[in-house]
């Protein structure tokens, strides 16, 4: 508990400006969505099951935006990039990631690292640098405990995503399961420094 409180106060005092290169772009920006600017990943997905704080909600694909990876439920919205949640709205602690072309292509590539930007809105911060690295992990009993039962199928791949935000000393590990087409169908992701890990199941219809 003290760890979350410390991170909360660290976030409050982060007011320095971070210069943002024009090479970074926002994914799933509803107000300025553009087919050319926002690469999409799984156009056949129209539902996501999100478990957060032991409550599950079905987020449905937004049909009023050009981005195929923007989903909403009631007054909450999440955007995904290849299965990674990169923007939220309507939660207690909203956030937004910025990716460039290189970091987008590096998602879920074994042994590859990249840097992206993230900012939080409650409390509000400037853009902070995040280091991401990916490792393909063997699907075994230990992995099954962290993820879900159906990953014993040889057609699935599992990845660890390690992240580190130096400025607030926030680090952790996210897990993703990809099917034989390279689409994320299940994940366990930390959404922000003040929230416990969430489980996301993707329905491919």
Q: State both tokens at 83.
A: 């299965």
Left if phi > 0, otherwise alpha if psi is -120 to 50, otherwise beta: which for 194?
alpha
Q: DSSP letter at 194?
A: T
Decide: 188 and 146 in contact? Cβ < 8 Å: yes
109 or 192: which leads in pLDDT: 109
Is the pLDDT reported for residue 199 higher than 60?
A: yes
Is the pLDDT reported for residue 38 higher than 50?
A: no
Among the residue ranges 7-11, 64-68, 188-192, 194-198, the one predicted with the least confidence is: 7-11
- pLDDT of 116: 95
Is the pLDDT reported for residue 189 higher than 80?
A: yes
Question: Whole domain around residue 173: which residue ranges?
Answer: 2-204
In the chain the first and final C-alpha atoms are separated, in Å, by: 40
- pLDDT of 157: 85
- pLDDT of 45: 64
- pLDDT of 23: 45
3-state secondary structure of 8: helix
| pLDDT per position as a tens digit, 66-88 | 555 888 899 999 998 888 999 99
- Span 137-153, mean pLDDT? 61
- pLDDT of 89: 92
148 or 187: which leads in pLDDT: 187
Mean pLDDT, the chain, whole residue set: 75
| pLDDT per position as a tens digit, 104-144 | 999 999 999 999 999 999 889 999 999 999 999 886 666 65
Number of domains in the chain: 1
Sequence-ordered alpha helix ranges (H) in 13-140: 101-105
CATH number at 170 reads 2.40.360
Residue 82: how many other CB atoms lie within 10 Å? 21
CA-closest candidate to residue 81, choices 24, 124, 128, 138: 24
- pLDDT of 134: 97
| pLDDT per position as a tens digit, 95-109 | 999 998 888 999 999
- pLDDT of 2: 54
């Amino acid at each position: 508990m003290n760890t979350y409180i410390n991170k909360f106060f660290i976030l409050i005092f982060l007011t320095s400006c971070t210069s943002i290169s024009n090479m970074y772009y926002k994914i799933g920006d509803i107000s300025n969505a553009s087919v050319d600017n926002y690469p999409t990943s799984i156009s056949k997905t129209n539902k996501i099951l999100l478990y957060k704080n032991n409550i599950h909600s079905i987020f449905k694909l937004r049909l009023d935006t050009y981005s195929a990876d923007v989903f909403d439920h009631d007054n909450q919205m999440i955007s995904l990039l290849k299965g990674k949640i990169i923007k939220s709205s309507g939660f207690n602690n909203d956030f937004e990631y910025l990716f460039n072309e290189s970091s987008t292509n590096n998602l879920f590539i074994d042994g590859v690292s990249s840097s992206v930007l993230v900012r939080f809105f409650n409390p509000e911060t400037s853009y902070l640098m995040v280091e991401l690295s990916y490792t393909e992990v063997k699907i075994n009993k230990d992995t099954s405990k962290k993820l879900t039962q159906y990953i014993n199928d040889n057609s699935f791949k599992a990845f660890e995503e390690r992240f580190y935000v130096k400025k607030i000393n926030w680090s952790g590990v996210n897990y993703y399961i990809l099917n034989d087409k390279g689409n994320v169908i299940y994940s366990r992701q930390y959404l922000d420094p003040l929230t416990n890990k969430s489980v996301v199941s993707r329905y491919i219809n």
